[in-house]
Amino acid sequence: MPELPEVETTRRGIEAHLLGQRVSRVLVREHRLRWPIPEDLDVRLSGQRILRVGRRAKYLLIEAEAGTLIVHLGMSGSLRLVEQGLPAGRHEHVDIELESGLALRYTDPRRFGALLWSPEPLQHVLLQKLGPEPLTEAFDGARLFELSRGKTIAVKPFIMDNAVVVGVGNIYASEALFAAGIDPRKPAGTISRPRYERLAAEIKRILAIAIECGGTTLRDFVGGDGQPGYFQQELFVYGRAGEFCKVCGGTLREVRLGQRSSVYCGRCQR
């Protein structure tokens, strides 16, 4: 599933080709995504100039003159730019044709993504209650400490809660907790402020690295597959259950927290 760094890489990959362009037509081949694509999307977006390509959490915000297209890639979605008229494959559901002659093509084999229209996207029900972006000053250890008081939930699902902070998915939560030396099973309310300050710093560091990795491994969103580079930094715990810890040499353990697999080191993480 694309996480925040991959979505940010996608944003960077398509931005230069969309900014200032006017939409000629929106061709929807399949309306049935996670939520139905608005039937009048072509009417709303055609003729509009694209003013900004932003991101909020894992939502891409393609801002036009009269409103904003909210795009979520779901579990398997991607965006790429193709020449208009290029025959579409089975899972290539939408083309947003531009005056440049290119089309922004949305592909989603599982159809679990979304393309929605909103005049005020930050007030949309999907976005209005989201927590702060992790790479901004609004997110820090003090916030984690204050929100965690009295919480018995394990710290890993706590930091993956989008109301606490957005974009800390399974990979990045696992790696940040390892880097901070915190056991993912530990109740959120029992962790001290200094340890949360370190955890917040590690979340910021690891997400920043992942975004840069995405940028450096990015192939080409024009005519390519539209897939961003994923986190290329060598992983310490994620997906390595039963293997040796690269720090202490112990065996990595696996547990399920919040219906997700969590791998950790019983020696390095307390």
* Helices of type H across the chain: 4-18, 41-45, 141-148, 155-159, 170-180, 193-217
The one catalytic residue in 56, 58, 105, 195 is 58
Residue 3 a catalytic site member: yes
Q: Which of 89, 94, 74, 102 is nearest to 13 (CA)?
A: 102
Exposure string over 75-111, b if 16+ CB within 10 A, otherwise e: eebbbbbbeeeeebeebbbbbbbbeeebbbbbbbeeb
Find the Cα–Cα–Cα–Cα dihedral 63, 212, 97, 72, rounded to 10°: -60
Q: Which two tokens stand for residue 66?
A: 């009269």
The one catalytic residue in 34, 44, 260, 267 is 260
The one catalytic residue in 2, 38, 134, 228 is 2
Residue 204 a catalytic site member: no
151 annotated as a binding-site residue? yes
Residue 193 a catalytic site member: no
Phi then psi dihedrals of residue 213, to 5 deg: -60, -40
91 annotated as a binding-site residue? yes
Residue 184 a catalytic site member: no
17 annotated as a binding-site residue? no
The one catalytic residue in 3, 63, 92, 97 is 3
Per the annotation, binding residues are: 91, 110, 151
Catalytic positions: 2-3, 58, 260
Per the annotation, binding residues for DNA are: 91, 110, 151
